[in-house]
Amino acid sequence: MRYILAALAMIGLAGAGTLLYQNYSKLDAPAATPVAETAAEPNRLRYAPDAAQLSSIRSIIVSATTLPLGEPVNARIAYDENRTARVSSPIAGRIVSLKGLPGDRVKRGSVLAMIDAPELHAASADVEKARSDEGRKRLALDRARLLLEGGVLPRKDLEMAQSEFEQAESELRRASLRLRNLAPGAVNPSEGYPLRAPLDGVITERQANPAMEVRPDLASPLYVLTDSSRLWVLIDLPEREIAKVRPGKLALVETDAWPSEKWEARIERIGEVVDPVTRRIQVRCSVENRGDRLKPEMFARVTLLGDANDQAVRVPNSAIITQGIYTQVFVELATGVFERRRVSLRLQDRDFTYLGGEVSAGERIVVAGALLLNSELLESR
């Protein structure tokens, strides 16, 4: 009897322990996240404000933009040659001092370098000699006229004096024009020849060095100056896309250096010849270089835009869900409320998709976590 009572007591203790463990397990178990009944709302999900799934979901407000003509094409940033000058020395000589350095902003007429030029001295001396000779021949002509009026000089001597004066006048004009061509503006030959900036801009390249011998036929310019406020964007457009572009149309420029920024450019010229090797044609755009962030020789991507009245909502490709033959996105109607919506695609490139009219500008589209929402919606059916 004693053994039977002990066995019953042990069974009772074991049962109490099991019941206590089950109660504690129920207290520690996490509460399930409530989801709306899909029978009434087959394409909607609702989450509590503190649902764990919301931490994995990100949405953005979308806006409408001009529909592109196609995928972005490769391009290159270049100098605007209409605002660029390559400066060389018009006379032979030797550099005695340098005034401009790469990166300096200069005004038109600023001195870039001083050059000791023997040719300039010779041209200045020729002007002085021609001026003196012209003055002497003028006096001889005046004297011949007086003598002719007095009847003591034959007319042929007057005509000779007139011819010699005209020759001296022509020589003075030639020497003055040569000096002006070598050194426009006021120049003091004893100080050397000042190499001046022909336009306002920034010095981007300098091949000049102290004591360097220079001459007009050097292979490389001494300085390259450009007005960097505007640049060219050179597009290598595939032959099949030529019919889509024309001068005056807009384009958007993107670079790897500034991935979050876009520059608006305008098409200026379309090339006349297709490259026989690449089957591409060069299209030139002009872009305003705000902040001087674009640099010549940068690689860029250009999106050619269509008619400004043809608008479409643009979303990142991560927002797109493909299910069978249908394309869908999730729209956040309110906090924790998501609706799956079928959409049509007007254009898709490497990064973005342009939608039809199923989504309006100003709505919030899920761009991260759309696959999670779609899987939960499928499991809830």
Q: What is the pLDDT of residue 40?
A: 57
Could you tell me which of 76, 103, 78, 69 has the C-alpha nearest to residue 250?
Answer: 69
Residue 10: DSSP 8-state: H
**CA 176 centroid distance within chain:** 45
Report long-range pairs for 61-64 (Cβ below 8 Å, ≥24 apart): 61/362, 61/363, 61/364, 62/313, 62/314, 62/315, 62/359, 62/361, 62/362, 62/363, 62/364, 62/365, 63/313, 63/314, 63/361, 63/362, 64/311, 64/312, 64/313, 64/314, 64/361
Residue 32: DSSP 8-state: P
Rounded distance between C-alpha atoms, residue 102 and residue 120, angstroms: 27
111 within 8 A of 332, measured Cβ to Cβ: no
Residue 348: strand pairing partners:
353
- Tens digits of pLDDT across the chain (381 residues): 454 445 445 555 455 445 444 544 444 444 444 454 444 578 888 888 888 888 889 999 999 888 888 888 899 999 999 999 999 988 888 999 898 888 899 999 899 998 888 888 888 888 889 999 999 999 988 888 888 887 778 888 888 988 999 999 999 999 888 888 777 665 666 677 888 899 999 999 999 998 899 988 888 999 999 999 999 999 999 998 888 889 999 999 999 998 888 899 999 999 999 999 999 999 999 999 988 899 999 999 999 888 878 889 999 999 999 988 889 999 999 988 999 999 999 888 888 899 988 898 899 999 998 898 888 888 776
The label of the residue with tokens 């004893």 reads 190
Distances (CA, A) of 13 to 3, 8, 27, 37, 68: 16, 9, 22, 44, 77
Domains belonging to the chain, first-starting first, are 44-67+311-379 (2.40.420.20), 73-80+227-304 (2.40.30.170), 84-225 (2.40.50.100)
Q: What is the pLDDT of residue 9?
A: 52
Residue 203: strand pairing partners:
225
The label of the residue with tokens 């297709």 reads 274
Could you tell me whether strands 223-226 and 263-270 are parallel, antiparallel, or unpaired per DSSP bridges?
unpaired
Could you tell me which of 191, 169, 175 has the C-alpha nearest to residue 113?
Answer: 191
Hey, what are 353's tokens?
């998709």
Q: What is the pLDDT of residue 265?
A: 94
Hey, what are 252's tokens?
């958007």
**Where do runs of H (alpha helix) occur along the chain?**
2-28, 118-149, 155-182, 370-379
Q: What is the pLDDT of residue 188?
A: 67
Hey, what are 209's tokens?
């060095």
- Dihedral of CA 181/187/192/196: which sign? negative
